[in-house]
């Protein structure tokens, strides 16, 4: 037996679907509070010293947190090539805006303190605000569009054709349900960023973070519930006409797909997946409650649970679909027909088993070293090389 055949193709596809979800959730949990902190910067910090405190809570860790974003993109490229081809071309302009906004963060961190001019620093503060707000919003818009279906089809030789047009690749994504998902995503990460600031700051900044975090949590609760009702009664789901072969070839065109019922029909077929939205609602409610109290670590922990539950609920409801087509349902991509080869998935799994524990260990060590609050005295100490 060839080595890579030790693990069945079906199992490898399922493992990489789970790992992709893990990477995306890890990105949301780590870089999510960076983006939320950036979105809160103009509101929770009113003096230059307070702004420096807020910036220095994420300054040492934001770059490492983005590793999960890179790993997620790499996993899509290697494990799900059709998904990479369609999503990165179809969402091209949105991706460009996200990357441009993310680029503002390192520039803002490095250039803000180069001059003592208040107008200069205010300009970079707003750049950091954009760098946190725009990605948080557009990532949610992308998720909403995935649930709605994306206008693409596959040619007989499996070349993906996106039908949205140049401007449709941006403005065509701004559909009402997708905008609602974007609002939920932004509010969710603002809540997460508020939990981080409660843990890392004190006094006035912490009090303001609690106030804005509570408001964001209420928006998340209402928006997530509304999105669920919209999915139940206003958006058609996707289903295979005949069960696909989990060990079959990577060719979406061999399976027939139909629009039918609701995405939420998955809860009737697999009742256990209801644990995901329960975690989403419970985590958000408890984060709101913790932000209303005096706990400092609990708001961040509960917001972690909320993010885990909400992102998981999307993947579990859609399974086995990963990118449906709303113009040609038979071109929809699924876990069972859009992956790389069995050998590729096996080699990637071996690499992941080696390097992911190293990344986790290093990340844990960094947060252990940087544990503790950031104070005005810290940022004014020249020996600390603060931003």
Residue 271 belongs to a domain: yes
pLDDT given at position 5: 73
Q: What is the pLDDT of residue 281?
A: 97
Using an 8 Å Cβ cutoff, are 84 and 358 in contact? Answer: no
Contacts of 24 (CB under 8 A, 6+ apart): 68, 72, 311
Contact 36, 9 (CB under 8 A): no
Is there a domain that residue 383 lies in? no
pLDDT at 370: 85
In a domain, residue 385? The reply is: no
- Look at residue 379 and tell me if it is in a domain: no
Closest by CA to 20, choosing from 303, 273, 345, 357, is: 345
Which residues span the domain enclosing 133?
7-373
Structurally, how many domains does the chain consist of? 1
**What is the C-alpha separation between 154 and 357, in angstroms, rounded?**
37
Question: Which of the 8 DSSP states describes residue 120?
Answer: H
Two structure tokens written together for 259: 């629009």
- Asked if residue 387 is part of any domain, the answer here is no
Residues 280-331 have pLDDT tens digits of 999 999 999 999 988 899 999 999 999 999 999 999 999 999 999 999 999 9
3-state secondary structure (DSSP) of residue 202: coil
Whole-number percent of the chain with pLDDT over 70: 97
Answer yes or no: is 325 within a domain.
yes
Q: Are 159 and 68 in contact (CB under 8 A)?
A: no
Rounded Cα–Cα distance for residues 213 and 219 (Å):
10
Model pTM? 0.94
Confidence band for 92, pLDDT divided at 50, 70 and 90: confident
- Contact indicator for 256, 241 with CB cutoff of 8 Å: yes
Residue 201 lies in a domain: yes
Distance, CA of 149 to CA of 169 (rounded, Å): 13
Q: pLDDT grade, residue 169 (50/70/90)?
A: low
In a domain, 380, yes or no: no
pLDDT one-digit tens code per residue, 96-130 = 899 999 999 989 988 988 888 889 999 999 999 99
């Amino acid at each position: 037996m060839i080595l890579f055949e030790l693990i069945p193709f079906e199992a490898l596809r399922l493992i990489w679907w789970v790992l992709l979800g893990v990477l995306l959730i890890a990105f949301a949990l780590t870089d999510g509070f960076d983006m939320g902190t950036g979105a809160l910067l103009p509101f929770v910090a009113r003096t230059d010293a307070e702004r420096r405190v807020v910036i220095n809570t994420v300054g040492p860790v934001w770059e490492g947190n983005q590793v999960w974003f890179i790993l997620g993109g790499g996993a899509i490229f290697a494990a799900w090539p059709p998904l990479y081809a369609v999503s990165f071309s179809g969402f091209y302009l949105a991706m460009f805006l996200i990357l441009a906004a993310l680029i503002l963060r390192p520039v803002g961190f490095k250039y803000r303190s180069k001059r003592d001019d208040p107008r200069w620093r205010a300009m970079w503060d707003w750049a950091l605000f954009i760098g946190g707000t725009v990605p948080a919003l557009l990532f949610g818009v992308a998720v909403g569009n995935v649930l709605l279906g994306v206008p693409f089809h596959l040619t007989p030789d499996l070349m993906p054709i996106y039908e949205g047009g140049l401007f449709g690749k941006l403005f065509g994504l701004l559909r009402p349900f997708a905008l609602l998902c974007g609002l939920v995503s932004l509010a969710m990460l603002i809540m997460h960023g508020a939990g981080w600031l409660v843990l890392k700051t004190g006094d006035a900044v912490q009090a303001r973070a609690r106030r804005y975090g509570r408001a964001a949590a209420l928006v998340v609760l209402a928006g997530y519930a509304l999105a669920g009702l919209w999915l139940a009664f206003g958006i058609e789901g996707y289903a295979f006409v005949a069960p696909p072969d989990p060990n079959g070839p990577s060719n979406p065109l061999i399976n027939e797909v139909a629009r039918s019922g609701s995405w939420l029909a998955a809860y009737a077929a697999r009742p256990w997946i209801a644990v995901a939205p329960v975690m989403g609602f419970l985590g958000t409610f408890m984060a709101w409650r913790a932000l209303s109290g005096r706990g400092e670590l609990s708001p961040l922990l509960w917001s972690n649970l909320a993010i885990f539950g909400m992102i998981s609920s999307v993947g579990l409801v859609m399974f086995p679909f990963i990118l449906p087509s709303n113009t040609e349902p038979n071109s929809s991509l699924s876990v069972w027909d859009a992956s790389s080869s069995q050998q590729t998935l096996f080699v990637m799994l071996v690499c992941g088993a080696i390097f992911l524990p190293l990344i986790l260990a290093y990340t844990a060590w960094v947060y252990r070293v940087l544990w503790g609050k950031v104070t005005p005295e810290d940022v004014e100490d020249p020996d600390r090389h603060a931003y």
